[in-house]
Chain A
Amino acid sequence: MATVVLPLFFGVFFGFALNKAGLTKYNKIVNVFRFTDLAVLKFMMTALVVAMIGLYALRSLGLLTFPNVPATYIVGNLVGGLIFGVGMALTGY
């Protein structure tokens, strides 16, 4: 039961936050690459900082263990990112 409800629950809040930040709009995404609207960066970096502090604090308290951390393979991550940026600027994903 929890394995079905939990992802749906987190997903709803995830989608809600994305929508309210305006990240579901083409112009928001593409304008961050034109430096005319930095909402995407502000949103992403705020989420990163909040989650980093929370997760590392909870781990130091011994309340959680990290799931599998995304693997680092320098060329793959970089090349993937380079291709991804093209699609992102085209589509506004």
Chain B
Amino acid sequence: MKFILNYIRKEEWSPYVAGILLGLVGIGAVWVSDSLLGASGAFENIAGMIGKAVAPAAFDTMYFNFIMPPGITYGVLLLVGVFFGGMIGAATSGTLLWGKKGAANSDAQWKRIFGPQVWKRWVLAFVGAIILEYAAGIAGGCTSGLAISGGMLLAPAAFLFIMGMFASGILTALIIYRKNY
């Protein structure tokens, strides 16, 4: 019992242990609620809701009517849970930076490559997130929704997606890091 409590307080788990936990959560989600774990769809649901309220004509498309219908879906609630789950994880290991100084840009490696400016981090995160969400829309899911959830059902789409993701990820990292790669 004490061992388990100490392990929960550890900042960084063995990826295998955390992976087993995620695998069990994935099984549970399919078994109990007949749904897949996914993150990117939730943003599209929320974007659809905002869009339908602000500019109904522009959002009256096939995509927002049938493929990603707006509303508080399973994915949106899941994402709320993920947010708090991540915070609980950080709180149990004592690394929660909420409201602390330097929390907006705390990654040492990021600062070494791009510089210490907070605005840079925000701009890059915003631009990167646009790319991510657009790509997830094309592929039909993100790392969690397609690669992991699709992969565990042995969907070919998931493995095609993982191939593409690693090919361009490696290339992008090469370009960003150049001689530091």
- Chain A residues engaging chain B, CB cutoff 8 angstroms: 2-4, 6-22, 24-27, 30-34, 39-40, 42-52, 54-55, 58, 63-67, 69-74, 76-93
Contact call A86/B151, Cβ cutoff below 8 A: no
List B residues 90-137 near A (Cβ within 8 Å). 90, 93, 107-110, 124-125, 127-132, 134-137
Partner-A contacts on B (CB < 8 A): 10, 12-13, 15-37, 74-75, 77-90, 93, 107-110, 124-125, 127-132, 134-158, 160-173, 176-177, 181
How far in angstroms is the closest Cβ of chain B from A21? 4
**B81 to A20, Cβ gap below 8 A?**
no
> In the complex, what distance in Å separates the CA atom of A92 from the CA atom of B142?
13
Inter-chain contacts of A63 with B (CB < 8 A):
31
B176 to chain A, nearest CB (A): 7
Known: A47-B22, A50-B19; 14 extra A-B contacts, CB below 8 A, are A15-B84, A17-B19, A17-B85, A17-B89, A18-B18, A18-B89, A20-B17, A39-B15, A46-B22, A70-B36, A74-B160, A77-B157, A84-B132, A87-B135
Pairwise interchain contact A93-B19, C-beta atoms closer than 8 A: no
B165 pairs with A85, CB closer than 8 A: yes
Query: Which A residues touch B26, using CB under 8 A?
Result: 47, 50-51, 55
Q: Contact at A16–B89, with CB atoms within 8 Å? A: yes
The reply to whether B152 and A51 contact each other, CB–CB distance below 8 Å, is: yes
Tell me whether A30 and B109 are in contact (CB under 8 A): yes
Contacts of B165 in A (CB 8 A): 81-82, 84-85, 88
Q: Are A77 and B161 in contact (CB under 8 A)?
A: yes
Using Cβ atoms and an 8 Å threshold, which residues of chain B touch A51?
Answer: 22-24, 26-27, 148, 152
